[in-house]
Each structure stands twice: as C-alpha cells, then as structure tokens.
Structure 1
Amino acid sequence: MNNRVLLSLHIGYWLLILTQKLLEALGTGVLGTQTDWFLFFSIVVPVHFLQICCLALFFYANYLVLIPYVLKKRNVVSYLIALVGCTLIFTPLYYLMEQIVYPVIGWKTYTQNLDFIFAFIVTLSANFVNIFLGLLLSYLMDWRSLRAEKELIEKEKLKTELAFLKSQVNPHYLFNTINDIYALTQQQSEEAPEALLKLSELLRYMLRESDDPYVLLSSEINYLENVITLQKIGQKGDAYINFEVKGSLDKQMIAPLILINFVENAFKHGVFNDRKNPIQILIFVDQKTLMLHLRNAINTAKKDKTGGIGLNNVKRRLSLLYPNRHELSIDHQHDFFSVDLKISFYD
C-alpha cells in the first residue's frame, strides 16, 4: 500500500465520521420538524467539522507521537502518563470551542457551563475510541511492515539460493565438451566448426537468457538439442540417443536450465553404444503442462568418484520454482534408470 492510498484512506475515514455526525443531527430533529437547511449548513456543518478537526488532532498526536515514541520505546506506564498529559493539553481547546466559538455561531452542546474538570472528562470520552483505533492501527501497520520485510528477505534468500543452484549447472559437462572440441581440432575434423558453433550457442543461452526467471520453452528445448548434438560429437558418432518433442510449442514459459540435470545424469551414467537400448529423452507438451520421460541403461563400468549433486540440485530448484506444480518420479533399478517429470505452467 503506497502513501497516496494510505492518505486517501485516512481522509476517507474522517469524512465518513463527519457524514455520520451530520446524519445523526438530521435524524435527531435538532433542526425542527421542517429542516432549516440554512441553519444546517451555517451552524451544524461548521460545528461538526470543528469537532472532527479536534478529534483528528488528538488522534494523530497519539498515533504519530505518543505510541511510537513513548509506548513502543518506553513502557505502558509512561504512555498512560503521556496520554493524560495530552488530554490536559487538548482540554483547553475543547473548553474554548464550547464556551467561546460555538456560542458565537449560535450552538450550545451542553446546557450547563463547562468547568475544567468536566471539559477534561469530555475530552477523554470524546477521544476514547480514537485512542483505541490509534493503538490498533499502529500495531497493524507494524505487523504489515514486518510481513513485507519478511517477504522481501524470503525473496532475496530465494533469489540467492536459485542463483547458487544455477551456478552449479554444467561445469563438468562444459569441461568435457571443450576437451572433445579440442580433440576434434587436433584431428582437423570437419565436425569441429559445427561443434564450436553449438558450444557458442549453448554458452550464450547459459550466460544471457538463463538470467531471466522464465524463458520460452522453445529456447530451453533448443538448448537441450545443442547439448545432445555436442554429446554425439563427443562420442564420435557412436551414440544412440532418441530425443523427441511431441506437442505444440506456443510461447509456453519455463524456468531455464531446469531439465538439463536429468539429461546430464543420463549422459554421465548411461550407455551410449547399445542400439537396442538407446537413451530415451521424450518431451510431451501442451498449453498447460510439460511431461519429460527419460530412460537409460546404466553403465556399470562408470564410477562417479565426485558424488552426484545434479539430481539433488534439480529437486531443490523444482521445489522452489514449482511448489505444488510438479510431480517427479525417479526409478533406479539395477540395469535401468528412469525419470518422469510433470510440470504445470500455471497454478
């Protein structure tokens, strides 16, 4: 809530109180059975307007000064003493209004003359509700500020954690790819320029487009295609990878680099050279959901000495980016490893 809206609410509140007072004056018949509108606008309206001004002055003295600087910084006893002092300060104002200003315009609130003690009681009773409202509003605004600050801290924490998780994507893969391209250039292979171009596109995506919280799904799939192409080049053509995308790609958005960990895991632990059991990477997409099915035979000859953080990484990112909007099933058997992921684009 910005300051302009807050100011409008304050002004609206006092106008509402003024309207209530004026309607009460009309309803009680103080102007006679036949309402004298000249008397109403020349006396009743100014009197109630002045009363509302006095109430507002007392309210903001309590709300802006006594509560934040006495009650919240000292204690309740100090606040009560300060509240009595504030009432004593405002009592002459009420006394002046009742004894001097109102008689001049032909208005008398009380039949008897006010003394100072009675004026003090009138001042306190007139502002009793506003004292309570000031306390309620002050602590409500404090709660709102704390909640907004907590949400900001959570967002910054989430952003930092996501940035850290994203920074862990692909480092080992990039090193391997660079080594493969270096080997191709040493061999003066015709595939070297294409591989270098694919690597350039891959790095551009990682360094630029993936900074956005969400990217086009078509861009993410194009990134996966480049990764798969480079992997095939690195395997010197002896790689059986079945990559298919079914459905219509029509401006769906997805978190960047959210699928690559599953693909990398298949490359890292899978079997490439088995024609009968190729690495399966199937993506089904419509306007609302994306489904990824990945299956690979496990290469028992490969030993992961570094320990895998890829799957834990992507599980954490999914829980942060798609809470209650994703389903992940991982089946790790003796010979095969499979992943089924469903992501809903919308809540």
Structure 2
Amino acid sequence: MNKKWLFYLHFGYWLLILAQNLLEALGMGVLGTQIDWFLFFSIVLPVKFLQIGCLALFFYVNYLLLIPYILKKGNLIKYVLSVLGCILIFSPLYYLMEQIVYPLIGWKSYERDLDFSFAFIITLSANFVNIFLGLLLSYLMDWRTLRAEKELVEKEQLKTELAFLKSQVNPHYLFNTINDIYALTQQQSEEAPVALLKLSELLRYMLRESDDPYVLLSSEINYLDNVVALQKIGQKGHAHIKFEVSGIVGNQKIAPLILINFVENAFKHGVFISSKDPIQILIFVDRHDFNFHLKNKINTARKDKTGGIGLANVKRRLSLLYPYRHELIINQQNDYFIVDLKIELYD
C-alpha cells in the first residue's frame, strides 16, 4: 500500500469517527426534537472537531513515537509508563477544553463539574480503543512489510535459481556442433555455411531472447528446428529425426530452453540410424494447451551415468515455472524412451 492510499485510509477513519459522533449527538436529542442547524454548525460541529482532534493527536503520538521507539525496542514497562504519562499530559488539555473552551461556545459534555481526576479517567477511557488500534495497526504494518520483503527475497531467489538452471543447459551439444562444422569446412562442404548460420541463430536465441522469462512459442519451436537441422548436418544425412508441429501457433508464450534437455537426451542416448525407427519429436498446440511428445530407441551400447542431470534440471524448472499447470510423464517401454509433456501456456 503506497503512502497516498495510507493517507486516505487514516483520513477516512477519522472522518468516520467524526460522523459517528455527530450522529450520536443528533440521536441523543442534544439539538432538541427540532434540529437547530445553526446550533449544529456553530457549536456541535466545532466541539466534535476538537474532541476528535484530541483523540487523533493522542493516537499518533502513541502510533508514531511510543510504539516504534519504546515498545518495539523491547521495553514494555517503559512503554506502559509512557502511555500513562501521555494520559497525564493530555488530561489537562481535556480539562481546559471542558472548563474553558466548551463553555465559551455554549457546550457542556457532563452534568458534574470536571476535576482533574475525572479528566484523567475521561482521557483514559476516550483513548483506550485508540491505544489498542495503534498497537494493532503498527504490528499489522510490520507484518505486511516483512511479508513484502519475504516475497521479494523469494522472487529474487527464484530468479537466481532459474538462471542457474538455465545456465546448466548442456554445452556438450554445442561443442559437438562446432566440431561438426569444423569438419565440414575442412571438407569444403556446401553445408558448412548453412550449418554456421543455423548455429549463429542458435547462439543468438540462447544468449539474447532466452533472457526473458517467457518467449514466443514460435521462437522456441524455431530454435528446436535449428537444433534438429544441425544434428542432421553433423550426422551427414545418417540422422533420421521426425520433427512435426501441428495446431495453431500464434502469440502463445513458453519458458525458453524448456524442451532442449529432452531433445539433447534423445540425441545423446538414442538410436536414429534407421529411417524406419526415427527419433520422433511431435508438438501439438491447441490454443493454450501445449503437447510435446518425444520417442527414441535407446542405445544400449552407450552408458552415461550423468544422463539424468538434464532431466532433473528440466523437472525442477517446470515445477518452478508451471506449478499445477503442467504434466510430465517419462516412461521406458522395452527399448524405447518416451516423454509426454503437457503445459498450460501463459498469454
């Protein structure tokens, strides 16, 4: 809550207190059966303004000075004594108002004459609720501030963790791609410039666009398309990969680099030398529903104990970015590794 709305809240509270007192004055028949509006505006209204002003003054002395600088420093006894001291200081003010100021404008709050002891009791009873409200508001604002700070810290920690997870995208694929392009240039292959251009687009996406928390789904799909194309170039036509996108891809957004771990895992641990048994990467988009299906035959001859790090990485990112908005199923059926991912996309 900004300072502007906080001011409106305080102002509105005291305005309501004033309205309540004025209505009580009308309801108690202070002005008689016939309302004398001249009497109301010339006497009742100024008296109530003075009374509410005294209440507000005591409230803010307690709220702005006594609570933060005494009570919250851990000295309860000193705070209680300070409140009693303020009541002693304000009691003469009530006494002077009742005995001198109010009579000048023809007002008398009490039937009996006001002595100092009675003025003390009146001051205490009039401000008892305000003491409690000051304590409640002060600690409520502290709680709100701590909560806001905690949320800010959690957001920063989340951003840091996501940045760290994103930075862990396996560089192994990039190194292999660079080596493949180098081999193509050595052979003076016509595919070398094409591969270099696709690698440039790949790096541009990873270094620039992926800084955003969410990117256009079309950009992420184009990134995967370049990854697949480079893999085919690197394998010199011996990589059989079925990459298909269906549905309507519009302005939907998705977390960047959220799918690459699955694809890299398939390239690293899969078999794709047969046109009859290619790696399948299928994407279907239905408005805000994103469906990703990957299937590859497992290369049983290649064992890699570090293979699970990338999958653990993407699982953690999904849980942070799409809590309750995604479903990930990873199965190993016979000789095949299958991934099915569903995400409810953001606008």
> Deviation at 1:124?
0.5
1:12-39 CA-to-partner distances (Å, cap 9, x unmatched) read 0000110111111111111011100010
Output the TM-score relative to the length of structure 1.
0.98
Distance (whole Å) between structure 2 residues aligned to residue 302 and residue 282 of structure 1: 25
Unpaired stretches in structure 2, ≥5 consecutive residues: none
Equivalences, count = 347
> Deviation at 1:334?
4.3
Distance (whole Å) between structure 2 residues aligned to residue 245 and residue 91 of structure 1: 80
Q: Specify the SS of the correspondent of 1:296.
A: strand
1:331 paired with 2:321, answer no
Unpaired stretches in structure 1, ≥5 consecutive residues: none
Distance (whole Å) between structure 2 residues aligned to residue 172 and residue 147 of structure 1: 42
> Deviation at 1:306?
4.2
> Deviation at 1:42?
0.8
> Deviation at 1:307?
4.4
Structure 1 residue runs of 4 or more that deviate by more than 3 Å after TM superposition: 305-308
The aligned residue for residue 87 of structure 2 is: 87
Distance (whole Å) between structure 1 residues aligned to residue 315 and residue 265 of structure 2: 13
Distance (whole Å) between structure 1 residues aligned to residue 191 and residue 74 of structure 2: 77
Contact kept, 8 Å, 2:242 with 2:281, in 1: the verdict is: yes
Distance (whole Å) between structure 1 residues aligned to residue 346 and residue 205 of structure 2: 24
Distance (whole Å) between structure 1 residues aligned to residue 126 and residue 246 of structure 2: 72
Contact kept, 8 Å, 2:283 with 2:293, in 1: the verdict is: yes
1:221 paired with 2:227, answer no
The aligned residue for residue 155 of structure 2 is: 155
1:179 paired with 2:179, answer yes
Q: Specify the SS of the correspondent of 2:271.
A: coil
Q: Specify the SS of the correspondent of 1:290.
A: strand
The aligned residue for residue 50 of structure 1 is: 50
The aligned residue for residue 189 of structure 1 is: 189
Contact kept, 8 Å, 2:281 with 2:295, in 1: the verdict is: yes
**AA partner of residue 319 (structure 1):** S
Q: Specify the SS of the correspondent of 1:309.
A: helix
**AA partner of residue 238 (structure 1):** H
1:117-136 matches, cutoff 5 A:
117-136=117-136
1:88-133 CA-to-partner distances (Å, cap 9, x unmatched) read 1111111111111111111111122211111111101000011111
> Deviation at 1:315?
0.1
Q: Specify the SS of the correspondent of 1:292.
A: strand
> Deviation at 1:74?
2.4
The aligned residue for residue 248 of structure 1 is: 248
Q: Specify the SS of the correspondent of 1:127.
A: helix
Contact kept, 8 Å, 2:265 with 2:307, in 1: the verdict is: no
The aligned residue for residue 36 of structure 1 is: 36
> Deviation at 1:48?
0.4
1:287 paired with 2:326, answer no
The aligned residue for residue 77 of structure 2 is: 77
**AA partner of residue 327 (structure 1):** E
**AA partner of residue 5 (structure 1):** W
Distance (whole Å) between structure 2 residues aligned to residue 345 and residue 251 of structure 1: 10
Give the aligned CA root-mean-square deviation in angstroms. Answer: 1.2
